[in-house]
Amino acid sequence: MLRAVADWWDAVELWLTQLPFGFQVLLATVVLVPLCWGTAVLSDRVVDAAAARFAARRAARRE
Express each pLDDT in 12-62 by its tens digit: 999 989 999 999 999 989 999 999 999 999 999 999 999 999 999 998 888
pTM above 0.85, yes or no: no
- Confidence band, pLDDT 50/70/90 cuts, at residue 63: confident
Closest CA to 12 of 1, 24, 26: 24
| Per-position DSSP letters for the chain, written without gaps between them | -HHHHHHHHHHHHHHHHTS-HHHHHHHHHHHHHHHHHHHHHHHHHHHHHHHHHHHHHHHHHH-
Q: What is the pLDDT of residue 8?
A: 95
C-alpha 34/C-alpha 37 separation (Å) is 5
